[in-house]
Chains A and B, each alone.
Chain A
Amino acid sequence: MRTLTAAFALALALAMAPQAATAQQPQAICPEGRTLQGTCVNPVLAQAARTIANVRGQSRLSYFILPVLPSQDNAARDPTLRNLRAFYEIDVVHP
């Protein structure tokens, strides 16, 4: 009986060992959240999408300053978003 109890206890300890080891590991963090399937969202896709939404949605925020870092201007600037008639507001000679 004592042998069976010891054997059971040993088996239980061995069965619990992987879970115990796992519980000690830090949980993986997804910097941009998770998909419905539970995998991590691609952080580059997510960050780029937010930047584009901000830049395109608020194209009237400033005539020439974008809400991005200067090093991102070259990639983020879109001259087709510039409304020429907005410069009706700043022309030297009022048309």
Chain B
Amino acid sequence: MVKRYVTALGIAAITLPSWAVDLAAQPVGTAVQVSSGWALVFDTEARYTSWSGPRGFPNSYAPGTPARGSLFHMPMAMALTGPVNPDLKLELLARTGFVEARQNAGGGLVGSVRTMTDTVVSGTVTWLGTPGIQPFFALNANLPTGSAYLNGTSAFARMDPDLVEVPTFGEGFNLGATLGANVPIGENSMATFSVSHTHRGGFTRDPTDIFGGPDTRIQPGASTSGTAQLAHLMGALLLRAAATYTYTSATRIDGGLAVIQGDSFALTGTAAYTWSPEHQTTFTAAYSHTRSNANFILALNQFQREAFNSNSNALRLRLDHSWRVTQDWTLGVYGTWFNRDANAYIPTAFQFIPAKTKWGLGGSARYQLAPNAAITGRFEHFWVNQSSRPDIDFGGVIPGSAIPALSFTGWTVSLGGNITF
């Protein structure tokens, strides 16, 4: 399998170089003379992740020891951007991919899957004709071209989302819309306000009970959110902050009301400093808090907020540094730290989720093949530590239900690129 993916990595590199967004680019107030103004971009990457640890996923399965897993993911996308007329800009994107995942743990927790992923299509129109405000509207859709239903042991290819990028392989038809506006404040600042709504379509998946049972029909709740952003450029320093509030409607399982996920609040801040034309450092901090869920109580025929919050707070810090070594070569290094705290349930409760921390250290190298084409390679090593959970006790202890502290390690390598016409 590794040999096959090395070949795929090579093909991706030769065919389609990569492209990076440079936040410290154009001077403010510069007018750009364009001809047609349209740009077509092809972009793809081949990514391979390998991990190992003392238990497979789900961690509650004690015989699943030791464990290792791998994931090959090759997303590919095409984007078309340009002016419909001098006052209207159009941005189109289509993105799909291929994934092959394997988990191999003790106790029969072995599974693999090979499938196309779902396909996301996106269209954004921006009105540029009014000085001082640029409203935009984006319509996105997730097309179910992947595999939500996994037969037999292939279901065991679903792995921990903190270890692999692709934790599941398909869902339903989802349709999302965002309406917003950029409000430039002078030449160096910008405020952005937007509201979004995502309708999530139903899908049928394999039984959620590993001991067998009927298929499960999931009807996820829709989500609605509001986001406010502020960006400010002070010479070589770029500052950006974004806050998002999201609430979700009820999820149904097999036609019956099940749960309303708690409202969430997410905040992120970024500071990027350009030391020189060759060196730039970026620091990003992100935090989210989610309220308690409301579970549907059949006996009461109503939703009831859970006594303790089964959701966790999450915090991530990231530090990047890029160095343009020559006109054609740019190197980068980065470090990340991610923490999800324990949820509010007591450690012996069935719903308790212990704390988890993930460290990552990586680097990248980008080569500009031509003015309109580039290749980027990345490598990251990560470590994940999860705290322990004692035996479940709800009046009587369930022996063997404890989960010890777990440590996982892994690495990800990718090679890709893009070309612009």
Q: Which residues of A are at the interface with B, using a C-beta cutoff of 8 A?
A: 26, 28-50, 52-54, 56-75, 78-95
Bound Cα distance A23, B138 (Å) = 37
Q: How far is the CA of A33 from the CA of B43 in the complex (A)?
A: 27
Give chain B's interface residue range (CB within 8 Å of chain A).
Answer: 35 or more
Known: A28-B31, A71-B417. 5 other contacts (CB 8 A): A41-B184, A56-B225, A60-B246, A81-B286, A87-B168
In the complex, which residues of chain A have a beta carbon less than 8 angstroms from the beta carbon of B15? none
List 5 A-B pairs, minimum CB-CB distance, nearest first.
Answer: A57-B196, A28-B31, A94-B208, A33-B128, A36-B132
Pairwise interchain contact B418-A69, C-beta atoms closer than 8 A: yes
On whether the beta carbons of A61 and B28 are closer than 8 Å, the reply is no
What's the minimum C-beta distance from B151 to chain A, rounded to whole angstroms?
13
Alpha-carbon separation in the docked complex, A84 to B93 (Å): 27
**Chain B 267-302: CB-based contact to A (< 8 A → 1; otherwise 0):** 010000000000000000011101001000000000
A69 near B79: Cβ-Cβ < 8 Å: yes
With CB as the reference atom, state the residue of chain A lying closest to B79: A69
Residues of chain B with a CB closer than 8 A to A52's CB = 192, 227, 229, 242
Q: A65 with B120: in contact, given A37-B186, A40-B30 (CB under 8 Å)? A: yes
B8 within 8 A of partner (CB):
no
Given the contacts A57-B178, A92-B58, A93-B60, A81 and B266 also touching, CB distance less than 8 Å: yes
Judge whether B142 and A65 touch: CB under 8 Å.
yes
| CB neighbours of B29 from chain A (8 A) | 39-40, 42
Asked if A43 and B118 make an inter-chain contact with CB atoms under 8 angstroms apart, the answer reads no
* Beta-carbon contact of B261 and A86 below 8 Å: yes
Once A56-B244, A90-B168, A92-B156 are accepted as A-B contacts, the answer to whether A78 and B210 lie under 8 Å apart by CB is no
Do B44 and A70 touch across chains, with their CB atoms under 8 A apart?
yes
